[in-house]
A = this chain, B = another copy of it.
Amino acid sequence: MLSKIIAETRSYRRFWQAESIAIATLKELVDLARLGGSARNVQPLKYLLVNSPSQNTKIFPQLGWAGYLKDWPGPVEGERPSAYIICMLDTRLSNGAECDLGIATQNILLGATEKGLGGCRIASFSRELQRILNIPDHLQILMVLALGKPKEKVLIEDSGPDDDIKYWRDATQVHHVPKRSLQEIIMVGQSD
């Protein structure tokens, strides 16, 4: 059921690194992105698929992890992503595609959940990444999807009355994500 998949599609940042992900699997995930809607149907997003340990090692240090966890620099060796999908804007086709990017990455991450995988959207990365991956100038990296088999527990809970939405980890390293309530985000229009 869709609601279950959506609820289980959380941001995961620690993985069973030794569990590799085949390029064929990454292609299946991007095919879900491909079928998502696109503003004016332009479809300006392109995807670089990476699953080799040597390339993963080059990508990892270029990424910023979990801004709210100040004492945590990111996953340790052994818990790092086993694949990446680099999401890029083809600037020959469009000058922006943030909404498309949300649609596409949601389809990918939902598909990952269905396959027992998980991942994290990373929008904080070094400009060096473009050069390291030999990405041509007309493709602009918008986001890095880090993927793997999740090795952490992520819990959604209601944000409290103090309106604090920062995610946090408890002593057992369970990751807690406060979500605003339905009541807080909905307004209902007049009825007849």
Contacts and interface: CB of A to CB of B under 8 A. Distances in A.
Q: How many copies of this protein are present in the complex?
A: 2
A42 interface: yes
Contact of A98 (B99, B104, B167, B179): B99
B177 A41 contact: yes
Nearest to A8: B35
Question: Range of interface residues on chain A?
Answer: 35 or more
Interface string A50-83: 1111110000000000011000000000000000
A98 B34 CA distance: 18
Nearest to A165: B41
A46 B111 contact: no
Interface in A102-116: 102-107, 109-111, 114
Interface string A1-27: 111011101110000000000010001
Contacts of A100: 102
Nearest to A45: B185
Query: Which of A39, A101, A186 has most B Cβ within 10 Å?
Result: A186
A127 interface: no
B30 A186 contact: yes
Given A3-B111, A156-B35, A48 B98 contact: no
Contacts of A101: 99, 102
Nearest to A36: B106
A102 B98 contact: yes
28 contacts: A1-B114, A2-B32, A2-B114, A6-B32, A6-B110, A9-B36, A30-B185, A34-B179, A35-B179, A41-B165, A43-B165, A43-B180, A46-B185, A46-B187, A48-B186, A48-B187, A49-B189, A50-B189, A52-B192, A54-B190, A55-B190, A98-B99, A99-B143, A102-B102, A102-B105, A103-B106, A106-B107, A110-B110
